[in-house]
Copies of this chain bind each other. A is one copy, B any other.
Amino acid sequence: MTASLRPSGRAPDQLRPVSIERRYTRHAEGSVLVSFGDTRVLCTASVEEKVPPFLRGKGEGWVTAEYGMLPRATKERTQREAARGGQGGRTMEIQRLIGRSLRACVDRAALGERTITLDCDVLQADGGTRTAAITGAYVALIDAIRGLKQARLIKKDPVHGAIAAVSVGIYRGVPVLDLDYAEDANCDTDMNVVMNDGGGFIELQGTAEGHAFRRDELDALLALAGKGVDELVALQREALDRP
């Protein structure tokens, strides 16, 4: 019986309850509070009419991301990165992943010479903060793009397809979907999968924590991820259809 396997009692292929709340704060062009269970990430999209130096004058836009964690989003207080004097390796790795993932669905020429920055700040962490961040940032991005279209600053929609992300892993020998912290801290393999709504892969990052994972385990994980992303994309659409 699977109920006894996962600490949360979920079935192996079951996502945590996911909620996507748009317009969570009022200043940003897109502002989404996304929850994957107890993981809560505030994702804002900020539009600025400038591009980084390496793109100036090329007629292309830029999409980038920054990631942060409030000091007490975690069980033990984590030192504030601003107080420590800079972003750590984990933060940089995650924000680079979010940025690459979202750029994968944007036609930067159609965006025009402007930058959209996706700030993903974890208010509460319970595993899967980066996948929640990507899933929420996509919705914030769409809201920002809608604003640009309404203001007639862009003509052609620069976004093609939808992007969502989920983690999968092998927990006590069983492939499971959307790991929470209790599972993440004890799993053998942990993989973050970013996919589009056509079932194509955008990013795949798998790590063997305990023993190396076999090809058949990988296949099972990818199938779970595909199911999870399909459900997340449906939830994104639902949220974006709300007025």
Task: Give chain A's interface residues, CB within 8 Å of chain B.
Answer: 25-28, 31, 38, 40, 42, 44, 46, 48, 66, 68, 70-75, 77, 80-93, 95-96, 100, 104, 117, 119, 121, 123-125, 161, 191, 195-196, 198-208, 211-215, 218, 222
Contact = CB atoms under 8 A, between A and B. Distances in A.
Contact of A25 (B72, B87, B211): B72
A171 B66 CA distance: 30
Nearest to A75: B27
A103 to B, nearest CB: 10
Given A25-B124, A72-B119, A77-B119, 17 more contacts: A27-B73, A28-B72, A28-B77, A68-B70, A70-B119, A71-B119, A82-B82, A82-B86, A88-B92, A89-B89, A195-B212, A200-B211, A201-B212, A201-B213, A201-B218, A203-B207, A218-B222
Q: Is the interface of A mostly helix, strand, loop or mixed?
A: mixed
A204 B205 contact: yes
B123 A42 contact: yes
A64 B185 CA distance: 20
A82 B71 contact: no
A44 B27 contact: no
Contacts of A198: 212
